[in-house]
Amino acid sequence: MMIETFIGMARYLSPRHDDDWSDRLHYLMTPNILLAFSVLISFKQFGGRPIECMFPNKFPGSWEQYAENYCWSQDTYFVEPKQYVELLKPDQRYTPERELSYYQWVPFFLLLQAAFFRAPSFLWKSFSNHSGIRMHEVVEKAKDSANVEEEVRQKNISILSRHLQNALHFHRRMEKRQVSSECLSMFVMNSGVMGQANNAYAFG
């Protein structure tokens, strides 16, 4: 069951031919770049030293590790390269303007951005596969270089028009069936409600 689920999801993630370079840049290249950066940052944060601090020489190794873990879990405060912490007043060191509280979440933000870039393509493929119109085949036929020949072009136009007519005809039939089933279900439900009301009135 799990393998079938993954195979079904792979259908929506597989490459298609109903897009152009800007679409592929949006849903393929950009998410992959964001995902790569997220993995690299995660290796640094969760597999190495996410933050490196400068300590006095008297600090033993255990103190340094504890201090770095504490600094990484807490917010940090930005100091410009030309400034010195020792020259800043205490009330100027920990101001909201200097506070940085997002860096622990950077890999998760990158993953979320990658998902947002990928989601429109995933939804498009999902709806396209359930629409009955094989959009990628339509685009392939329309882009066929052999369309310069009149005979091939007319043949492709005939194939595409017949496919679109069949798909639209199927949708109209399904719409009528849907309306009929909705009316039938409403009739059955109302009949049941009226029957229960009559029974309650008769035995009440």
pLDDT in tens, the chain (204 residues): 445 554 454 454 555 556 677 778 888 889 999 999 998 888 877 777 777 777 777 777 777 888 877 777 777 777 777 777 777 777 777 777 777 777 778 888 899 999 988 888 888 777 766 666 666 666 676 666 666 677 777 777 777 777 777 777 766 665 666 666 666 666 556 565 565 556 555 555
**Claim to verify: residue 122 and residue 150 sit in the same structural domain:** no
Last residue of a domain, one of 112, 130, 148: 130
List of long-range contacts for 40-47, beta carbons under 8 Å, 24+ apart: 41/106, 41/107, 41/110, 42/107, 45/104, 45/107
Domain count for the chain:
2
Q: Which of 41, 31, 28 is nearest to 112 (CA)?
A: 31
**Claim to verify: residue 71 and residue 28 sit in the same structural domain:** yes
Q: Which domain holds residue 184?
A: 132-204
